[in-house]
Amino acid sequence: MINSISVGYGSMSGAPVVAVDDELNAEGALVVTCFPSAGFVSSIVAHYLVDRLGLTFVGGARGAGLPPVCLVQEGKPLPPLRFYAGEPICHMDRCDKVVLIASEIQVNADLTLSLADSILDWVEASGASQVMMIDSFSHGPDQAHSIFDDDESDESMLGIGSTDSAQETLEQLGVSKLKHGVVGGMSGVMLGECRRRRIDAMAILAESGGDLANGAIPDARAAARIIERLDGLLPAIKLDTEPLLEEAQRIEEQIREMMATQLNQLKMDKPGVESSGMYG
């Protein structure tokens, strides 16, 4: 049975409502959030964790401001913002469960604060221990990193912690601290609200490669770098990144083929270059 929980908000307020299985016990859980990000990094991580950790669908969020759509998976409808849960063995003092919040649909800016409030109200009411936000960033076309390389420098993976405890966890995971900067979207709003509410929360942001991966091409390598860090939290379950790296290679080969085709076409379109008239 799905039970609606929206601590601090009435149903007439118009704020999004978190609706989860009333049998879900999230006491002490690590809550992982994966909202849309550059290179689809957070979405890749979310789908990987659901599959690898055997997480099950337990509910979602609903509200007038959320996109009027449903996702369909194996013939069954799912809300655009979904909650999954499971009980893998966790390497954090108070964590023995994982709740994953995932969405592939961009949240409207006008809705971010109310949605963050509803989610964090649920986090506090459920007794979850920590929040981890998965996100990515891109410096643009002039950055050194691209989806074609294996860049594992400190600058390619950055972390933010709302409390001293969260920052210590990031340090244990080998994630460098983002000392100065701006984080937008749901992750930015939730980080600020978590500090205000004194909720242990951290964000891990992987650098995603430039124009090619910025909202257009999946950056599986960046997702793999995040999963390698998360592997330290779940020692009883090996988070194998090899399938993601194989997918990255497949995507890279497709991109190179498309780029080569475009370059050949540009050469053919130049004045003075005649086509042979033969194809195939």
> In which band, very low, low, confident or very high, does the pLDDT at 44 lie, cut at 50, 70 and 90?
confident
Round to whole Å and give the CA distance between 176 and 162: 15
Summarize pLDDT for 60-79 with one digit per residue, the tens.
998 888 888 888 888 999 99
Tell me: pLDDT of 198 over 80: yes
Determine, yes or no, domain membership for 276.
no
Determine, yes or no, domain membership for 10.
no
Round to whole Å and give the CA distance between 206 and 227: 10
Question: Shortest CA distance to 102 belongs to which of 51, 183, 47?
Answer: 47
Round to whole Å and give the CA distance between 255 and 266: 16
Determine, yes or no, domain membership for 2.
no
Determine, yes or no, domain membership for 3.
no
Q: Which is higher by pLDDT, 114 or 9? A: 114
Determine, yes or no, domain membership for 86.
yes
CATH classification of the domain holding 168: 3.40.50.10900
Determine, yes or no, domain membership for 74.
yes
| Least confident range of 128-137, 174-183, 218-227 | 218-227
Determine, yes or no, domain membership for 273.
no
Round to whole Å and give the CA distance between 79 and 72: 9
Q: How many CA atoms lie within 13 A of 167 on its CB side?
A: 9
Summarize pLDDT for 110-143 with one digit per residue, the tens.
999 999 999 999 999 999 989 999 999 876 555 5
Considering the chain, what percentage of its residues have pLDDT values greater than 70?
A: 69
**Total number of domains constituting the chain:** 1
Residue listed under structure tokens 């959030």: 33
DSSP state of 175: P
Average pLDDT estimate for 181-188: 91
Average pLDDT estimate for 153-174: 87
Question: Shortest CA distance to 154 belongs to which of 248, 225, 234?
Answer: 225
Tell me: pLDDT of 14 over 90: no
Q: Which is higher by pLDDT, 187 or 222? A: 187
Question: Which pair of tokens denotes residue 122?
Answer: 């649920």
Determine, yes or no, domain membership for 15.
no
Q: How many CA atoms lie within 13 A of 192 on its CB side?
A: 11
Whether the full predicted model's pTM is greater than 0.85, yes or no, is no
Question: Shortest CA distance to 255 belongs to which of 223, 210, 225, 224?
Answer: 210
For 196, the domain range is: 26-268
Contact yes or no for 116/109 (Cβ under 8 A): no
